[in-house]
Amino acid sequence: MKTLTVFTTLLAVSAAKKCIVKPKANANAGESSEPDNVLSTDEDSNDEPSNNGNEPTDNDRAELVEKARAEGKLPSDFKWGAATAAYQVEGAWKEDGRGESVWDHFTHLYPHNVETGRPGNEDSISGNVACDSYHKFDEDIKMMKIMKANHYRFSISWSRLFPDGQAKKEEGKWNVNEKGVEYYNSVINKLIENDITPLATLYHWDLPYALHEKYGGWLDYHSQYDFANYAEFCFEAFGDRVKNWITINEPWVNCVSGYRLGPGKAPYRCTGEAPRKLANETEGLDLQGGCSYEIGPSQYSPESEVLEANRPPQRLEDVWCSHNILLAHAQAVKVYREKFQKEQKGLIGITIDGEAQIPWIEPGMSEEQKKINEEYANLAAEFRIGWYSDPPVTGDYPQSVKERMGKDLPEFTEEQKAMLKGSSSDFLGWNTYTAHWAAPVEGQTPPTPEEANFENSKRDMWDDNCRGRGDGWTCIPPTLGSQAGSSWNTKYPPTIRVGLNWFSKRYEGLINNGIVITENGCAQPNYKVSRANDEVTKAYFESINQPEYADTYDEDMIEREDNLNGTLIHDTYRIDWYKGYLENLRLAFVEDKIDVRGYMAWSLVDNYEWENGYETRFGMTYIDFYNDPELTRVPKDSLTFLGEWAQANIQDF
């Protein structure tokens, strides 16, 4: 494959030797204070690949894999299904004792930060009702059956279980909201009754607002211990049936979009502009949109000063959020491995996101420049992906990130490195949608050690999926593949194969049960975002002898909210997306011998697409959010296609 060949030089990253550690038990479970983090080396930890009774034995699986590859198929134990997230589908935002999340609070406080086709309707800018899966989960299962899912990835709402975010166990009893427990028991049991294996995510961006108000959420180091206590309850309550756990979903998006960029993701802590509510003169300003200042007093680390409450967004908030959320992941894994994994025999890991990085090429480019661009593509991948995937696998940030960030990058203690290392060795989840081109910035040089800081860290690096940006962050073509229905979302199927190879080489021998694609999908081109008849992108790919990736479409492909007979239901663009990405996944397994263990399509149903509201539709099931009070599930053609693809491409399916 011509495209893949370009990247082979990117993938030779030396894997660190494994250093296995076993944490000591925390005697203070259920408290928000810092637990004992002293760890000791132990051969009995993760030195051997995890089996835990949840996977075939090594010999059995080797035979299974060999047989599948000989047939050009994925193996019979392949995890196949769809994904959703609690805030995007559940609704029932204040029902049965559920507490506020940051998304509840900040969408209500700043409604103009969310796109809507029904201005003034609070339900159209929030997850108040969403898909009402809290009451209609049986209908969701019917959709899973159409795509022949054997797994379903869902997330648990932290504030539905613990409204104030703090899980405590006193005299053997948890301070949990029992109605929330009943709901998730029902979800898990119904899945199992329908031969669908639950894949549970503990955190998908819906932090309890009480913790944001108390200490600034992920900006405060105490958050890792509150998360570990909440996780412990979930393991105890649901782990007899849930054997696949994801701790954190997409820490980059949660932290960078929630605490620097935006306002896009709650809690709208963005440094691009000052909060309008703090302006000296607010007359004429839209105070229902923009960046937030409402936050609790925060202490980044035990050594840091306490920052005052209700302050403007600060420099490096996204960096400290990322640091603490990675530690929260490791703390939760520590609890699971010490107290539950041996008996429950489950697997646990983290899901990260990030674009596979493609070296920019153009006609007449020298071989020397191509090699430089390849190096920058790998560097961009270390910043975009490795920043979050290296610590849970190797125990620390990538060396390139440390060198270029200098003192602006927090350091893990030796005990924290030991706790992090191997914390996603059971499996690694990857959410993949599109790719980025990468190249050096003309006229810029890498920062010297004296210049190393956040602002300079990427000054000589460019990566994006288009060559420029217009109003509203829209792409200026050429784009890396055709423009899907979100500004960041372009269709480039090789990204999944390139990324899987990058992970496989980088973490060779360090991930025992492979990589799971925990999200992949697209929004159809729609009235908000599309680019029909894109001759610029077509001409670019033809100029570099890759015409197959020009992938232009005409106006008929664009989704219209008022046309159920069009691509709203007959979603041919999405089918073509899945066809291309899944073929590249199959080739990664069969030809490249990558250990990929699962694929979760995003998303099972149309749902609340965060700042884009309800008219950016990633679902394989149509829901009329504005006109149908029953929120009837209508399967799209892509749902049937996926079921047919699985039957044809998964062994003994």
Q: What is the largest CA-CA distance in the chain?
A: 73
Which entry of 55, 100, 232, 519 is annotated as an active-site residue? 519
Q: Which residues pair with 517 in a beta bridge?
A: 430, 599
Nearest 5°: the CA angle 481, 486, 490 is 10
Nearest to 165 by CA among 250, 100, 106: 100
Query: What is the residue type of 20?
Result: I
Q: Which of 90, 139, 232, 250 is catalytic?
A: 250
Give how far the C-alpha of residue 60 lies from the chain's centroid of Cα atoms, to the nearest Å: 31
Q: Given phi > 0 = left and psi -120 to 50 = alpha, else beta, which region is 518?
A: alpha
The CA distance from 580 to 68, in Å, is 20
Q: Does residue 250 have an active-site annotation?
A: yes
Preceding omega of 447 cis (within 30 degrees of 0)? no
Q: DSSP letters along 401-439, please?
A: HHHHHGGGS----HHHHHHHTTTT-S-EEEE---EEEEE
Residues 6+ apart with CB under 8 A from 407: 452, 453
DSSP tag of 482: E
> Quick one: DSSP state of residue 71?
T
CA-based radius of gyration for the chain:
23
Strands (E), 100-219: 151-155, 169-170, 173-174, 197-203
Question: Does the active-site annotation cover 213?
Answer: no
- Determine phi and psi for 198, rounding to 5 degrees: -75, 135
- State the number of CA atoms in the 13 A half-sphere of 284 facing the CB: 2
Calculated CA dihedral for residues 240, 244, 245, 250, nearest 10 degrees? -160
Instruction: Report whether 603 contacts 143 (CB < 8 A).
Output: no
What one-character DSSP code corresponds to residue 384? I
Active site residues: 250, 519
